[in-house]
Each structure stands twice: as structure tokens, then as C-alpha cells.
Structure 1
């Protein structure tokens, strides 16, 4: 199939959740399909990142999205009923690029990454249109409300009804919609039946993320994530300020590493606390995971699947995480990972693992086996085979 691949961010480097999914889908689909990538970029310097994508694409086209222009567009169109983030990506230049490609070339399908980009093909009857919502973003916004400052809480309270309505409406305009987990599908459909809404999970590169150090450091906890994203910033702060001191009372030698690209000031300042390191981006994430004793991901709000947790499990590292995170992963608490939510409980489960090497090994092995059996990037290729077959039957 010839596919137009439409993204709001250039899917490279794959250093945050949205880019990660788009990059790996692009990489896997290119094995059997011809891909034209059309993407926004926010900065001309991003053009330096297209090199690694060329091997997967027969053509790459970019549209510049300036922050000032996007902000002005949002302000001028705020009276509209669509979500602010869709308004932020509203662009006559992108619409023109989409229209020209679809009029001048033959495409069998359009893949649209996230609802912010849906506006550019939502009203077209063809070609076959796939909307990858990934998450029901309204769920995470609702869960995050108590943790925002008053200004952003007010903005998101106004935005939330728009997003909920838009998510329901936009699905009806596409041939099919993809979500990352059964939990996200249930949140979107709210008990309704719709066989056009399909679960396509993320995958993990289990050759890259694997056990390589059977011992690891003593009493070293690691949390990994893009440290400029709000739910990771909150989790890092919560871990360092509320949970780590409780662990320290029992295990004074405990250390916490907060690893991830582009740490926000709030995260960088945590390095001033005793027992906390903020190394930022690391070149070899698998080595960093294997150098730790366990992985802690105390996200107080989340949606979808947190790949950082899957990668830690693939590396054989025992994981302690929250109920919201496991809602997407659907692992068995106490077998594949440990689930805890309140600070005292979370700290207690971490201490239990730090003091029990046999339990760490048992959960680490079970977690890796679980990830290897359930999370494959190739699932997206399997789905496109079904789409191609159904399209061929209609010709």
C-alpha cells in the first residue's frame, strides 16, 4: 500500500511517547508499504533530524509551525468549539500540502497521528483514513486537574468538555480509529459498541532492552521519562520529595536517579536534594536500567501505555508503579510488577523489593516474559494487512 503518514511532530528522535509510537509505526510499516511522511516542525533546526527517517520514506515533506503564529491562530479561533490544541495546529499551509498530495498522487490510506491532525482529512471520503488517537486524552486531562496550578486548572476545565466532545465526534469521520490499550478504548466508547475502534498496542525492542547486569547497584532506584512532560515532572517530584524520604528512613543508602531528556527546571532542582541525581539524557538507557536495583514509576495521573515501564520490564528490572499506569499495561500485581499508590504503601513496596534479591529476580524475569509475549511493534503491520485485504476486495 502507498500510505500518507501525517504527524504533528517530526517522529525523530523517538525520545517521548508520541514520537516513539509514530517512529516505530513508520519503521515497521516501511517494510511492506511505501510511505510519504508529511509533518509539522516547530523549528528549522529539526530538519537535521530527517536523515534517520529517509530510509523508511519515499518522500518527506515538512511544514513549519511557528509558535507565535500558532498562538495567534488559537486566539483568533478560540470561539470555535474544537479543542485548543487542534486550533493550535490549524494551518492553511498544512491543509494545502495535504490537499496537493492527495490530489496529485495515489494513496491507498492516510495514517493520522493524534487528533490534532485529524482536521486535515476528516471531511474527505477517501482514501481509507486511519486516526491513531493513541490515548483518550480527556482521561489524562481529567486525572491531572488536581495537580495543575490554578491558572492551568481553569484552562483545562474549559478545555475538557471540548476534548470529550471532539473525541466522540471525530471517530465517526474516520474509517477506523486506533487506541493504545483496552482501557483507552473503554474510556472512549463508554460502553458503546464500535468495531471500527481498534486496539493497537505499543511495542518494545527486547533486543535493545534486555538484562545485561545480573546484580546492579545496591539500593539504587531509577525513574525514566521525558522530563519536560507534565506527568513525568510531577512523578519525579513526588518520588523525590514524598516517597524517597520514607524509604531513606529504612535504607539510608538509597539513591534515586531521574533519567530523561530535557528536564524541566522543577526536575533539575531536585538534584539539590540528598540521594537524588538528575543525569538527564543518557546515551545507553539499557545500561542505566541494568545499573539500577529497581524501577519506580509513581505517576499520579496517566493514560495509555507508559513505554518507560515496558522498557524497564524488558530489561529485567523489577517495577513498582501506580494503578493508573498498570491500567494500560494490564500486568498482574505481585507477579509481573508491583502496584502501589499512596506514599507510605509505595515506599513500603520499594523497601520490600530492595531487601529481597530473590523477589526482585522473580518479578524481573516474569515482567520481561510478560512484555515479550504481549508488546510487539509488528502488530501494526498485522493490522495493515487486514486493511489492505479489505481494500483489495472492494476494488
Structure 2
């Protein structure tokens, strides 16, 4: 078999198109790259039904709404997850026995050579895929055990601590078994590859497949064809944070922005605005926007480019996280300068002072934004170098070459 005749089935936890949020951007990247090698099918499972029945370029798409498929017995089983060492509430979220039967039928119908399972949370479907003669790739978008420890290390109260500890042990068991049963494991960065070894020792062959973006998608910002969102045309002092706002690492970062970083910037620059763009904003964020008109909370948007066009700086004050941050790559492609913590820029081969400013403390982040706002030539220099980096290392073309090498190695074995 050659890479020009591969049939690939993706199993995803969400509908990957339109790509909203980091996971979907990565999934849509991988789908588009694998289309170059042959027909692509998608089996998606989530707690809702999509409005559209069309995924551009995809040969076959089957969606399972597990919320309406679960039996009462399954709902009871899910509540008793802690009795089984390889059950976890977040992995149960996208699973139903009826959906597993539908996946089995889809595999029989599509007959893929390769199945790519996106995220550890789809582990429950692994046993179904193993019944069929196909290679299995586990695309481990985050090393979830590491991320879980970051998120719950400061949990208060005995009961909450015990629950978090049990969930972590179950998650480690799931992630380890998944990584050992797959034909290959894909991770976003060398850092994640090292974490896999640190947590689980020798597993299936691991390949770094970076998060990437379709750089050409952002060309309309450079050309001026894509205009700033209405009301944000004065772009000089617009500070942007982009991402799914209910996602715990993003929530922590945004609260830091609202409580500490932005108030200091407002004192220095009274005409500044904070743009929080992404789905599922918390009540805290919405309340802050009501109190302070210069804080704009959008909720889900159809297209982030008008907000990237409006931004003079993207700020990424992340203290937790895994994988690599696509929001930074989007800013690089859009020509928007970035100020980030080291955790925010983790896994991206970007250098402080050349491609972005890396600042870790609140005062440092404030000073970094202020540095760019007071010295526009610095922002231009950073944006120009960052654009060259994203084209060379994180474009779909660059990532496609890495995927092709990984797939060729798998087929040769």
C-alpha cells in the first residue's frame, strides 16, 4: 500500500467542522492532510446533533448523539465509573453502546486502512476498532494525566481531593493502555513526547505531529480584505484573548486578565479594550463585561479573523495546559504580536524577543503589552518573524510532511 491510496476513518468527540476551538482545528487539519492520501470518513460522537450534515471533502460521515442513545442502565453504569479501573466520567461523556454498534457498522461499510482516534476520551471505542483489520493511530492532543494534575493539584477538601485522585489513577490507566494498544501515538510537541515516556515508559511508536493551521486562511487580514469587527475599527489598543472560555486553563487565564492584568493596562491606557472571544464564557466573564464596557465578551463567533484583524496584541497568560496553543499560531498567521507566559508558548519553537514576548508574572505581562503598544516597530518586527516561523514549521504543508513520514513508517512496518 502507498500513501496515495489510503482509506482513513477519523473518530472524533465533536463535529470537526466548522473548526471552532483548538481540538477541532487540529482534527480538521489532520482530516485535510489525510484527504491527500485517499478517501476520508468521519465518525463523530457527542451529546448533541449537528445542524449541518456536510463535512467538506469527506467521503462518509456518521454522527451519534449519545445523549439520546444511552439507556437507563448505561446512565447508572456511568455513575458507577469508579468501580472499574478503566472508566472515567469524561470518557463516558462521548460513549453509548448503540453508538459503538453504529461505529462497527461504519467500519464494516468504509473498510479503512487507517483509523485515527482523536483524544483519549474516545478510549471506549478502541475495542470496537480492534475487531477490524486496520492500523490504529491514537492522536493524543494533550497528555491528559499531566493536564489533570495541573488542574486539580490545588483542589480543596478531602472528598474533592479523593475524587480527583481516583479520577487521575483511572485516567492514567486509560491513557497508558491506549498508548500501548495503538499502532502509533501522535503528540503535539517534543515536550508531550517526553511526558508520555515519563508517565508510561515504552509505548507504541510516538511521532510529533505539530498543531498547524491553514496559513492562507489568514491572508485576507494582511491584505486588508478582512476588516475588524464592527465597533472595533480603532485597533490601536485592542487586547485579544482567544479560545474556549469554559475550558479550565483558559478560564484561569481570563480571570487573571480581568482581575489583575487588564486593570493595570487600563490605568496606563484608558482607551484600551479587552476582547474575550470564544464559546461558553463563564458567568464571571459576562458579569465583568456588564460592569466594564471596555471588556467585550463575544461568545461563539462564526469567524475569528475579524477579531484578529481588530487586535493589536494577543495575550496568552496561561498557567496550565497541554499540547500547543493554536491561538498563538493563529495570531502568528494573522500578523498579530503575542505576549505569552512560558506555559502558553510551550511546545512552539518560538523564541522570546524574536517571535513573541515571553513574560511570566502579572507585572511582566503588563509591561510586555505596554512595550508593544508604546513601540509599534517592535510589534511589527515580532509579527514578521512569527509569520515566517508559522509558514516554515506550522503550516498544513509543513505538518503534512511530518504526517506523511509517520504514515509511511507505519505502512512499512
Is the TM value for this pair above 0.5?
yes
Q: Does 1:231 align with 2:240?
A: no
Task: Report how far residue 311 of structure 1 moved.
Answer: 0.5
Task: Report how far residue 287 of structure 1 moved.
Answer: 2.6
Q: Which residue of structure 2 aligns with residue 130 of structure 1?
A: 137
Q: Structure 1, residues 166-187: CA drift from partner, whole Å, max 9, x if none? A: 2222211011011111111111
Are the structure 2 counterparts of residues 341 and 388 from structure 1 closer, same or farther at C-alpha, using a change threshold of 3 Å? Answer: closer
Residue pair 2:355, 2:383 contacting (<8 A) in 1 also = yes
Q: Which residue of structure 2 aligns with residue 65 of structure 1?
A: 66
Alignment of 1:148-163 (within 5 A): 155-163=163-171
Residue pair 2:239, 2:272 contacting (<8 A) in 1 also = yes
Q: Does 1:8 align with 2:13?
A: yes
Determine which of 368, 376, 389 is the counterpart of 2:395: 376
Residue pair 1:216, 1:292 contacting (<8 A) in 2 also = no
Q: Does 1:42 align with 2:47?
A: yes
Task: Report how far residue 155 of structure 1 moved.
Answer: 3.5
Q: Which residue of structure 1 aligns with residue 230 of structure 2?
A: none
Stretch deviating more after TM superposition (94-103 or 11-20): 94-103
Runs of 4+ with >6 A deviation: none
Task: Report how far residue 312 of structure 1 moved.
Answer: 0.9
Alignment of 1:103-142 (within 5 A): 103=108, 105-122=110-127, 123-124=130-131, 126-142=133-149
Task: Report how far residue 65 of structure 1 moved.
Answer: 0.8
Task: Report how far residue 310 of structure 1 moved.
Answer: 0.8
Alignment of 1:167-178 (within 5 A): 167-178=175-186
Are the structure 2 counterparts of residues 28 and 346 from structure 1 closer, same or farther at C-alpha, using a change threshold of 3 Å? Answer: same
Alignment of 1:202-281 (within 5 A): 202-210=211-219, 211-212=222-223, 217-274=235-292, 275-281=294-300
Task: Report how far residue 148 of structure 1 moved.
Answer: 6.0
Are the structure 2 counterparts of residues 7 and 152 from structure 1 closer, same or farther at C-alpha, using a change threshold of 3 Å? Answer: farther
Determine which of 162, 187, 208 is the counterpart of 2:195: 187
Say what the alpha-carbon RMSD is for the aligned residues: 2.7
**Secondary structure in 2 matching 1:166:** helix
**Secondary structure in 2 matching 1:198:** strand
Residue pair 2:66, 2:95 contacting (<8 A) in 1 also = no
Q: Across the two proteins, how many residue pairs are aligned to each other?
A: 390
Residue pair 1:182, 1:328 contacting (<8 A) in 2 also = yes
Task: Report how far residue 29 of structure 1 moved.
Answer: 1.7
Task: Report how far residue 239 of structure 1 moved.
Answer: 0.4
Task: Report how far residue 154 of structure 1 moved.
Answer: 5.2
Task: Report how far residue 282 of structure 1 moved.
Answer: 4.0
Q: Does 1:78 align with 2:82?
A: yes
Task: Report how far residue 267 of structure 1 moved.
Answer: 1.9
Residue pair 2:8, 2:40 contacting (<8 A) in 1 also = yes
TM-score under structure 1 length normalisation: 0.89
Distance 1:385 1:345 in 2: 41
Structure 1 segments unaligned to the other structure (5+ residues): none
Alignment of 1:88-99 (within 5 A): 88-99=93-104
Residue pair 2:8, 2:34 contacting (<8 A) in 1 also = no
TM-score under structure 2 length normalisation: 0.85
Task: Report how far residue 263 of structure 1 moved.
Answer: 2.0
**Secondary structure in 2 matching 1:172:** helix
Q: Structure 1, residues 253-273: CA drift from partner, whole Å, max 9, x if none? A: 322111123323222122034
Q: Structure 1, residues 128-169: CA drift from partner, whole Å, max 9, x if none? A: 111111110122221122576767665433312222232222
Task: Report how far residue 49 of structure 1 moved.
Answer: 2.6
Residue pair 1:185, 1:197 contacting (<8 A) in 2 also = yes
Q: Structure 1, residues 329-386: CA drift from partner, whole Å, max 9, x if none? A: 1310111111112211211211122111111111111111111111022456445544
Q: Which residue of structure 1 aligns with residue 3 of structure 2?
A: none
Are the structure 2 counterparts of residues 248 and 72 from structure 1 closer, same or farther at C-alpha, using a change threshold of 3 Å? Answer: same
Task: Report how far residue 285 of structure 1 moved.
Answer: 2.3
